[in-house]
Amino acid sequence: MPEYLNQLLADTATALVRENFTGVRAPWWWERRLGGGLEVCQELDPEAMSREISERTGHGLPEVRRTIQEELGLEEAEPVVLTFEIAGETATDEAARMLAERSAQPEGLAAGLYRRVEEAVRAG
């Protein structure tokens, strides 16, 4: 019989997240949601993103910063929080898979945003 997120005690939920959301460079944390679900939160620092993409693409920081602002709709280069929520009715094995999938790259929840900005910089 499958176990669901909303059935987990705090220590078990913590272990599930820590064992499956791994390898992300940016600061991240998780919270328990009403109904027993989980929400993973991750900081996205546009300035750090600018430096990383500039190094990877060979494009200058000012160009990358502008592209980030345009692509992500940011008015300032202040860090923002990205979130990913898993409902309490989700089976723990499915939740583990979802967490692992979203942390498969060092950029974590921001991996798609990094790709999008890199493509825009290269298309420039």
Residue 103 pLDDT: 97
CA distance 77 to 51: 12
Contact 21, 100 (CB under 8 A): yes
Quickly count: other Cβ atoms within 10 Å of residue 41's Cβ. 15
Please list the alpha-helical segments (H only) found in 1-124. 10-20, 46-57, 61-72, 92-102, 111-123
The total number of structural domains in the chain stands at 1
Q: What is the pTM of this model?
A: 0.91
CA distance 118 to 68: 9
Tens of pLDDT, residue by residue over 59-88, are: 999 999 999 999 999 988 899 999 999 999
Residue 124 pLDDT: 81
Task: Look at the alpha carbons of 3, 38, 44, 68 in this order and tell me if their dihedral is positive or negative.
Answer: positive
Residue 75 pLDDT: 87
Range of the domain at 11: 5-123
Tens of pLDDT, residue by residue over 86-101, are: 999 999 999 999 999 9
How far CA 39 is from CA of 20, 49, 87, 99, in Å, comes to 14, 23, 9, 10
